[in-house]
Amino acid sequence: MKKIVVLGAGYAGLKTVVELQKKLKGQVEITLVDQNDYHYEATDLHEVASGNLPASKITFPISDVLNPQMTTLLLDRVTKVDPANRQVALANHAPLTYDYCVFALGFVSETFGIKGAKANSLPMTNVDEAVAIHDHIVAQMKDYRQSQDPNDLKIIICGAGFTGIELAGAVADARPRYAQLAGVTPDQVTIDIIDASKRLLPMFNDQLAAYGVNLLKKLNVQITTEALIQEIQPATVLYKGANDEEGTPLHKVTGNTIIWTTGVSGSPVVAESGLPQRRGRVMDSDHLTAPDDDQLYMAGDVSAVIPPAGKRPYPTTAQIALSMANYIAKDIAARVKGTSRPGAYTYKSLGTVASVGNTRAFGEASGHSFKGYPASVLKKIIMNKSLMELGGFKELFAKGRFDLYH
């Protein structure tokens, strides 16, 4: 019986397992490795970080979707994959051998070597980190009642990409609650976004990108662009303006909450495994396998697929991760059954929608643009679709986003 090892229970890894259980019932042994016994909706981390949702709302037990007769969940940390010997090294268990391995270990925060970024800012790449951000904000607000330090009321988000924009919107929604904790008016709680780019939200057309930026401005979020962050000190972000002359002193923004959302890279295990990679991502073959290794599939945040007419890989999103998982399950099933493998992997985006708080969003889907409240409804429908694909009706009804009117 073929042995399949799946590394990571995020969108790509868990969806692959769910599909393999349907397609190869009783024909393979699957081992799923993850450090947690729960799956979390990574697209909702900003809601937990802001405190608008509890962590329990964006998680569900992995065991809920596993067939114990086919799949074993192993709670451990992957340290290395040895493609030559088809083995996976683990921190606390004996190595696993495999016939096929699906490498889907997700992403980590990328500091780009900026001094102090790791020590003096808060990343947001998993549930624990999102909870820590919320706990930190609450602590600062409560502290203000005693300290009267204005920096307690200042929240700085480094990075105005998709994640930073959504986080800023969620934090803006939570501002009245923070203000009540601090004993101040909501306008005294400030939110700053700092980013190196001149034009934000490049995944959207000019009109939609401008709409999204203006949404934040209407929420009294201060946006600083063309700001090249040089260092993060305790409670201080130092940056250089793109047009500053040589010798110009660094600009300074202060605040006791600094959140780091400037970018991510694929799991460091990719490099530890000696795979050809750039920032933790491997350029996939037509069958989503690693170069020169047809038994090792690379999925989700550790993989890179170039669009037919493009030069840069598709962005790593939940949508493409689920698409990859569906393809990988079909490919592995065909190989196990000895039937013809599917053709080369192709991806067609169904659209992208960004939220700016609970009832405001913008984006495009099926060739149409959506703004405001209708876009926020669409965003929640997309999230529910993802949850349905992974967890079925049980998780959809338990964890789905049906809060459409507040």
Sign of CA dihedral 298, 303, 308, 314: positive
Place of tokens 């049906």: 402
Q: Which residues, at least 6 apart from 368, have a Cβ–Cβ distance to it below 8 Å?
A: none
80: helix, strand or coil: strand
Given a contact cutoff of 8 angstroms between Cβ atoms, the answer to whether 229 and 110 are in contact is no
Rounded to 5 degrees, φ, ψ at 49 are -60, -35
Select which of 41, 47, 110, 166 is catalytic: 166
Per the structure block, which two tokens stand in for 252?
């300074």
**Does residue 166 have an active-site annotation?**
yes
Per the structure block, which two tokens stand in for 260?
């780091």
**What DSSP string describes 29-67?**
EEEEEESSSEEE-GGGHHHHHHTSS-GGGGEEEGGGG--
Q: Is 132 exposed, middle or buried (0-12, 13-18, 19+ CB in 10 A)?
A: middle
CA distance 345 to 324: 8
212: helix, strand or coil: helix
Place of tokens 């009804």: 397
Measure Cα distances from 241 to 121, 217, 247, 252 in Å: 21, 20, 12, 11
CA distance 259 to 200: 18
209: helix, strand or coil: helix
Buried b (16+ CB within 10 A) or exposed e, 94-126: eebebbbbbbbbbbbbbbeebebbeebbbbbbb
CA distance 341 to 46: 39
Strand order in the sheet with 236-241: 227-233, 236-241, 251-254
Catalytic residues: 166
